[in-house]
Amino acid sequence: MYWQDATETLLTTLVEQPRLGLITDMDGTISPIVSVPNAAQVTPHSRAMLQVLQTQLALVAVVSGRAVADVRQRVGLPDLVYAGNHGLERWADNQVVPAPEAVQYRPALEASLAAITPHLLPGMRLEDKGATLSIHYRQTADPQAAATVFTPLLEAITTQHGLKLFQGRMVFELRPPLHIHKGTILRQFVTEYRLSAAVYLGDDTTDVDALQMARDLREQNECYALGVGVESEGVPTAVLETADLLADGVPGVEAFLSWLVNASRAS
């Protein structure tokens, strides 16, 4: 069900809650997917709506797989709350604050980086994000073949160095083997900001944890939380299956944010 079909039901209940928080992914949600990650830009409309919502809601946060300093710079709204590397780091007191338990895995990440570099294919980009590593392969000659070749290589490297391997949309990620992800950071935000309601927006495999957490929080009566999956070409099936509601691409997210500005103001 698309969010437009729930404005008189699920979403009415959402905006009626006294402390509502909005937590959103960046790439593919408020920023279109691009072939070169460094070219990603938040749409002006999304940025403007987030800025307004920051004055209306108990929390407006951006949670990304990007390094937290990177996503904060790209969103360009210093008063929002930011978490990067899927929750492994936060931005606080004008600096990057990593999760303490993640710091010990930095040597393993450095060793993995050295092991992967000689095997990179033309068009691949290896990104060291401090708390994690990402290998982007969207620009390889044959992305599907690149994924087939690299999957067993990365599985061996992560096993050797005690890390975990994840796959997203044309990207591999190596992370510490910790129970920290977008779902746990969503729960953390609910507790930290005493939210009575929350809405999470995301489009990729790493957002599924948060979409599921939203459902869990609601079903356990801890917080009236809803997950909005962003539908686009190549969106993982798990996003569509786990989301409570759907938005039609980045334009659908922009429309939802506009609706939320007006609905929260009216409530």
**Which residues form the catalytic set?**
25
Contacts of 79 (CB under 8 A, 6+ apart): 54
Helix H or strand E encompassing 199: strand 197-202
**CA pair distance 142, 138, nearest whole angstrom:** 8
Cα distance between residue 11 and residue 17, in whole Å = 10
**In sequence order, what are the beta bridge partners of 223?**
none
By the 8 A CB rule, do 73 and 57 touch? Answer: no
